[in-house]
Amino acid sequence: MSGEAHADARPARPGRTVPVPVERWGATARRGPGPDEVVTEEPLEIRVDAGRGSVPVAITLRTPGHDFELAAGFALAEGIVRGPEEIRGIRYCAPAGTEQEFNVVTLELAGRPDFDVDRFRRNVFTNSSCGVCGKATLDRLRTEGLRRPGGTLRVAPARLVGLPDALRRAQPLFACTGGSHATGVADAEGRVGLVREDVGRHNAFDKVVGRLALDDGLPASGSIAVVSGRASFELVQKALVAGFPVLAAVGAPSHLAVALAREYGLTLVGFVRPDGLSVYSGAERLVPDGTALEVPMRAGTGVSG
């Protein structure tokens, strides 16, 4: 094979969308062909190098982009690292003499000579809709070191009900494809700042947590996590690892999500709409008078004094 042909055969770095042809139909008749954009779904292999060479710990199907944030957030959520200071670096795989492999990311750990890869390696890959499918038992879902959220955040429902619309306005990938989830970070006034999108809801959350970790923004005790879909057990777990006191979801929570939120004192709200919301846990952080407050909490209780 010639050098030019070999260069042409190298895979391009995947983008966030892929153009596809589509047939447009009405209820009774064909309208004709046209172009469309669909959200990209590519595998990402996450490897860990604790000083003895890199080893794979998981494969997830994700939308390319913010891959280093995804890897960092995943490592924190899984307990692979106990804080961002244990991440020495993050890199794409680039074997000697080859092009970078943009679907393989390696986390280089610092100060973890005792790291046991077999403890964290998932049995099968995680898919874009379920982040925990490869874990063997429910007990393993509980990351070591889950803590009750700290801080003194109080928020008015009037601020929460506007979060889905604010999040939607910050979702260009969804606007283009209709095929992505999003996680955003909001303040007590309902202002949404950091937003990440992905074909997988758990990936979008990991990307947000990873960005906060890399920016020394954890724990997120003064912020609200808002998600575009339902609130699963794993998203509650990730919110607790990151230190969010409030998790707001457009959709419904699962029963395990509610149980975990109640156990650790996370404020969990679902079915957030312009005309109201449902509170499943932690109602003490909501104030009804339309203003956000900072009220001291008794240490270790998560309830107002």
Structure token digits, residue 71: 């890897």
Contacts of 203 (CB under 8 A, 6+ apart): 60, 62, 63, 70, 128, 131, 181
Q: Locate tokens 């312009």: which residue?
A: 274
Q: Are 47 and 60 in contact (CB under 8 A)?
A: no
Task: State the Cα–Cα distance between residues 41 and 191, nearest whole angstrom.
Answer: 30
| 130 labelled catalytic | yes
For residue 251, give the nearest of 224, 222, 280 by alpha carbon.
Answer: 280
Give 304's DSSP letter: B
245 phi and psi angles, rounded to 5 deg: -85, -20
Q: Are 233 and 257 in contact (CB under 8 A)?
A: yes
Task: State the Cα–Cα distance between residues 93 and 99, nearest whole angstrom.
Answer: 9
Catalytic residue among 93, 130, 133, 176: 130
Name the residues annotated as catalytic. 130
